[in-house]
Amino acid sequence: MSSSSNLTFSVQPGGQLTGSIRVPGDKSISHRSIMLGSLAEGVTHVSGFLEGEDSLATLQAFRNMGVKIDGPENGTVVIHGVGMHGLRAPESDLDLGNSGTSMRLLSGLLAGQEFDSTLVGDSSLSSRPMRRVTGPLAQMGAQIQANEDGTAPLKIKGGIQLKGIDYPMPVASAQVKSSLLLAGLYADGETSVTEPAPTRDHTERMLNGFGYQVKRDGSRISLSGGGKLTACDIDVPADISSAAFFLVGATIAPDSDLVLEHVGMNPTRDGVINILRLMGADIEVNNQRDVGGEPVADLRVRSTKLNGIRIPEDQVPLAIDEFPSIFIAAACAEGETVLTGAEELRVKESDRIQVMADGLLVLGIDAQATEDGIRIQGGQLSGGEVESHGDHRIAMSFAMAALRADGAIKINDCRNVDTSFPGFDSLASSVGLNITAMDEE
């Protein structure tokens, strides 16, 4: 396929979602498995690895820094760790594609290395704000040069001795927290981060899994520099962010009954389930178990009538990546749904608040963007042509909207779906979504 062509989704109206599927592995955990496995002593085996473009960008970056990595093959990756000080200077810039997680976390990790490095990305990533990471890293002594507006490329100076800081985060962000903790591995003394609200804790859990002590005292997370990581085995659960599209689809499509297997149920990521249940969704959590330090379960979801709600602000950080799909649920609910306290959605792969509001308006739904959220009046979705602006989560959310639309929905600019969910269209088709992916010059 030519990457210059426009990949579109054409989704016919109606249908139901039935059966049992396992969505691809968790992107956040896949990224971190490569990063920590590379810095560990010994060989780390990863299963369930997400073979999407974002995770593969992280994998390639570490290969470019001298780490031998076998795979991925059917979700299996073998990482031959080089230890905390074994990375080598890359011969060229590290291209992280569309992955904000890779760029922000690597900023911290590379700030403590002996060599210089430069992080670059595609046009979308190069427009995203990086000061929220580079600012506190500078307080630790890191020397990172960015564009005047704080965007990539990021030029990171090596050979700097970092110092631990005590950083109260102004905005809840797992990426900022993780970046500072990774820098803290190389810093003198203790590095601590205090969160204004809980965010995903995969970094802390995985550091513990690799034998590195991380302390938590209420909302304060801390570690001391100078330790080591010991290789381990990681089984990556299915990504709840990818499961979210199917949770919403099976909830809104009449006569649906769908099981999503082996879904990661980390309590810092389950906001989408909590919010959908508040709206009236019928989601059963079965076969709960613990896999490699991460809680996992099978989710059974059946169609039901939804009601509009005011989304509790304490759930916002726990569902930050799932809001595009939640907005589709809100469009199908009775009454008004109001979201506040979600400014971060404006600086994702797209301005997700405005892009979703624009698309919903095209499809006949009254959706009003606000500075920090959105107001959506439930109604009847119509067919139409919407723009995803190259944002994978926007594209997949509007695909599910067709289940309740009265006409076909065409979604433009869908190629980036492969960053997080390769094979989305075929998996969705296998359980009942009438979707066709087409290349258009």
Q: Which are the catalytic amino acids?
A: 321
What is the spatial distance between Cα 268 and Cα 200, in angstroms, rounded to a whole number?
5
Which of the 8 DSSP states describes residue 1?
Answer: -
The H-assigned helical ranges of 288-391 are 323-331, 352-362
Contacts with 53 (C-beta within 8 Å, 6 or more apart), sequence order: 97, 98, 99, 416, 418, 419, 422
Q: Could you write out the DSSP letters of every residue in 18-61? A: EEEE-PPBPHHHHHHHHHHHHHSBSEEEEES---SHHHHHHHHH
- Contact indicator for 234, 29 with CB cutoff of 8 Å: yes
Contacts with 290 (C-beta within 8 Å, 6 or more apart), sequence order: 296
For 245, other C-beta atoms within 10 Å of its C-beta total 26
**Bridge partners of 307?**
334
Nearest in space to 383 (alpha carbons), one of 397, 364, 367, 358: 364
Nearest in space to 306 (alpha carbons), one of 341, 331, 273, 269: 331
Which of the 8 DSSP states describes residue 224?
Answer: E
CB burial string 193-231: b at 16+ within 10 A, e below:
bebebbbbbbbbbbbebbebebeeeeeebbbbbeeebeb
